[in-house]
A and B are shown apart, each in its own frame.
Chain A
Amino acid sequence: MSFKMEKTIISVKNLGKRYLLGQGGGEGYRVLRDVMANAVKDLFKKNNENVDQQEFWALKDITFDVRVGEKIGIIGWNGAGKSTLLKILSEITEPTEGEVRINGRVASLLEVGTGFHPELTGRENIFMNGAILGMRHAEIKKKFDEIVAFAEVEKFLDTPVKRYSSGMYVRLAFAVAAHLEPEILLVDEVLAVGDIQFQKKCLGKMEEISSGGRTVLFVSHNMSSVRNLCQRTILLTNGKIEKEGPSVDIINYYISKSHINESGSVKWDISDTVPGNNDLKVHSVSVVSSQGDITSEFTTDQDVTIEIKFWNFKEGEKYIVNINLKSSDDLWVFTSVNAPSANIGKDIWYEKPYCVGLYKTECRIPANLLNNGKYYVYIAIAYQKINEAIVQLEDVISFSVYDIGEMSKEYNGPWLGPIRPKLYWNTELIDRYPTGTDNSRELT
């Protein structure tokens, strides 16, 4: 038995995956018309210069072993290569170099609901989805009742899933996937679906699955579920393994190193860590009060301004900036963007081609909007024309909002939810009754 525990089930050696970013770096496919046109053009061109195809290594030199029954967490910032790694392990895409040896049946939960067809009923989709995920008909049949009960969709089995609420849809999709019985399970952020209650149920199911001696590779941004589920964690940074070891150590290291900054301002000093590309680089991100002070602590009645400074190096380019705000319990609060249709002010540079220089874009979150709590800021800057992100800074900075009782003079709370806006309230008398009228008799 102890020998069995030692057995390696997945062995990854020098794995690398390269993508070629073509001109424009947009979609991967080409158009035959262009290829033929270029071939004709090349005939007349003397120097056969290679068109600007940029290489990008999504993964490089990845080596690790997983033993039978181990639960491994894979963490890292966006774009670190976590999903690419799972895609290679599940054979969706092929590595450019290196190899993986797998000794068991693999199932992946990369995205729930894959292969669901809106026109088909819940029942039909269970069989279809199961088959796509690699389950045999007999196997699905055996687990059918269990799947339906887990998803809580008994009454709607013969309704096309296009009529399902999004919650029901996700529940059914997760239920099918969760009832696979592979030796190795690859999971990518499936728990970030549905309402909180269902998320808990999913997490419970995940623990149940993994306690059955199954090997699990779990990609997540949710540090607490990685800590609960996995003994060992791998931290990926820019396609390489930065650190690997007991989950607690790695997660602490990740949090201490991560850019979640509480001083109210982040600035990148070492040149090679500056986020951006040849067209644009980020200078700094700050949270600023209405007095212009950099701070990370606000009261509910203060404006919070998020300032992004960046350099533009490309004459005439146009950018679009957006922020997403996340609450401390990992829920998105809102998305905001500097485009005219989403802006109550006016961002004159949105309309104009940028000249080369240093810019400051700010977003003001008005007072009396956020509830008390801690908020994390996600910032993305993209090319306006093609909406392709240049930088995506997740949890780049955080700030806290404190309740000083300004809104609790009459009502003591609780104030629920991530926002606490002052809204328009009014009461009107619709019909006046003479004093002394017996209400109950009058109303019946």
Chain B
Amino acid sequence: MNTEHIKVIRKRHGLIGVDFNELWRYRELFWFLALRDILVRYKQAFIGIAWSILQPLFTMVVFSVIFGQLAKLPSDGVPYPVLTFAALIPWQFFANSMSSSSRSVVGSAGIISKVYFPRLIIPTSAVISGTIDFCISFVILIGMMVWYKIVPTMNIVYLPLFLLLAFTAALGIGLWLSALNVEFRDVFYIVPFLVQAGQYISPVAYSSSIVPEKWRLLYSLNPMVGVIDGFRWSLLGTVTPHWTGVIVSAVSVLIIFMGGLLYFRKMERTFADVI
């Protein structure tokens, strides 16, 4: 070894930044752990792949019948099934990734107490494996758009940005909950509640256009509002999103994510002792 690289191990105090050099050195592990999740899931469950398709499909049918047919909510000029499905896939990506990310650290207790690698990889790769599921259901959405003869607008180039926002939101909350879950084992019971409540305060089953203007900014504090509006806009070309609202969503995601990073880095020092 020519380079004099001296690593110092000592107790760290205060806020701890992210060691990007180290993450870069371990970059392959992000993908490997995500791949392991996927492989294991699809090997164990016969309906593995089918599940990631069936779950949003069934929900779409229910939403279309109840909100579109019975409640006759506005569909912004696109078929109701497409309207909900375009929202369901980012929502389910967010909800599933956030849950598995929250569970991930406690679920890796065995590795954490035996080997060192950057702990941030654990919750992150849980979200990455959620992204792979997202890609599968996205294919279904494309199929539906072909069926309903909907041509995406040029706005589709912005879609990756909204996906990134959903990714960051899922990871941000995942970082908080996975670290909290190490110390307080009952934190995980909050997650199903978050998912259930979140689905109603996000425009999944309905269009955000039914939310009164004066509540829009407050409503947009929920990060998924910006994501879902963005998805509908860039794919279906429905009414332009409330841009101030999108910015509010993005800022709130950023705050949750940065806070989550710092909290996780602070707590990871004692993971091996507590887990």
Select which of B4, B10, B43, B269 is within 8 A of A103 by beta carbon: B4
What residues of chain B lie closer than 8 Å to A30, measured between beta carbons? 183-185
Contact assessment for B272 and A32 in the assembled complex, using a CB-CB cutoff below 8 Å: no
User: What are the 5 tightest A-B residue pairs by CB atom distance, in nearest-first order?
Assistant: A28-B274, A99-B10, A32-B184, A91-B116, A100-B9
Residue B149 lies at the interface, judged by CB distance under 8 Å to chain A: no
Q: Mark A108-129, 1 if CB is under 8 A from B, else 0.
A: 1011001101011000100110
Contacts of B6 in A (CB 8 A): 101-103
A365 at interface, CB cutoff 8 A: no
The interface residues of chain A lying within 8 Å CB-to-CB of B15 are: none
By a CB distance below 8 angstroms, the chain A residues around B10 are 94-95, 98-100
10 contacts between A and B (CB under 8 A): A29-B183, A94-B10, A99-B10, A102-B7, A103-B4, A115-B110, A119-B40, A124-B36, A128-B32, A133-B115
Interface string of A4-33 (1 = CB under 8 A from B): 000000000000000100000000111111
Interface residue ranges, A against B (CB under 8 Å): 19, 28-33, 35, 87-105, 108, 110-111, 114-115, 117, 119-120, 124, 127-128, 131-134, 136-137, 160, 183
Q: Does B12 contact A (CB under 8 A)?
A: yes
A437 to chain B, nearest CB (A): 60
Q: Which residues of A contact B112 (CB under 8 A)?
A: 92
Given the known A-B contacts A28-B273, A90-B116, A131-B32, are A35 and B184 also in contact in the complex, defined by CB atoms under 8 Å? yes
CB distance B44 to A119 under 8 Å?
A: yes
Chain B residues near A93 (CB-CB < 8 A): 270, 272-273
Residues of B within 8 A of A137 (CB): 28
Given A19-B273, A92-B112, A92-B114, 4 more contacts at CB 8 Å?
A: A28-B273, A94-B9, A132-B115, A160-B43
> Which bucket holds chain B's interface residue count?
35 or more
The answer for the CA separation of A33 and B10 in the assembled complex, in Å, is: 33
Q: How close is A242's CB to chain B, nearest CB, in angstroms?
A: 23
Closest to A127 in B: B32
B185 x A29 contact (CB < 8 A): yes
Once the chains bind, are B186 and A33 in contact (CB under 8 Å)? yes
User: How far in angstroms is the closest Cβ of chain B from A282?
Assistant: 28
* Residue numbers in A under 8 Å from B214 (CB-CB): none
The reply on B26 being an interface residue by CB < 8 A is yes
Assembled-state Cα–Cα distance A30/B32 (Å): 31
Q: Which residue of A lies closest to B118 (CB)?
A: A91
B178-206 interface bits toward A, Cβ cutoff 8 Å, 1 = contact, 0 = none: 00001111110000000000000000000
B113 at the interface (CB under 8 A from A): yes
Which chain B residues (111-132) contact chain A, with CB distance < 8 Å?
111-117
The complex places the Cα of A103 from the Cα of B2 at a distance, in Å, of 11
Q: Does B70 contact A (CB under 8 A)?
A: no
Measured between beta carbons, the chain A residues less than 8 angstroms from B184 are: 29-32, 35
Q: Are A88 and B9 in contact (CB under 8 A)?
A: yes
B11 and A95 form a contact (CB under 8 A) = yes
CB distance from A3 to the nearest CB of B (A): 14
Q: Does B154 contact A (CB under 8 A)?
A: no
Measured in the bound complex, the distance between the Cα atoms of B273 and A136 in whole Å is 28
Tell me if B11 and A96 are in contact (CB < 8 A). Answer: yes
Would you give the shortest CB distance from A82 to chain B, in whole angstroms? Answer: 15
> Is B66 an interface residue, CB under 8 A from the partner?
no
Q: How far is the CA of A220 from the CA of B211 in the complex (A)?
A: 67
Complex Cα gap A88–B270 (Å): 12
CA distance A119 to B269 in the complex (A): 30
Residues of B within 8 A of A97 (CB): 11
Q: Which of B9-37 contact A (CB under 8 A)?
A: 9-12, 26, 28-29, 32, 36
Question: With A133-B115, A183-B1 in contact, do A32 and B187 touch (Cβ < 8 Å)?
Answer: yes
Contact A32 B186 (CB under 8 A): yes
Chain B's nearest CB lies how many Å from the CB of A108?
7
Tell me if B8 is interfacial: C-beta within 8 Å of chain A.
yes
B11–A124 CB distance below 8 A: no
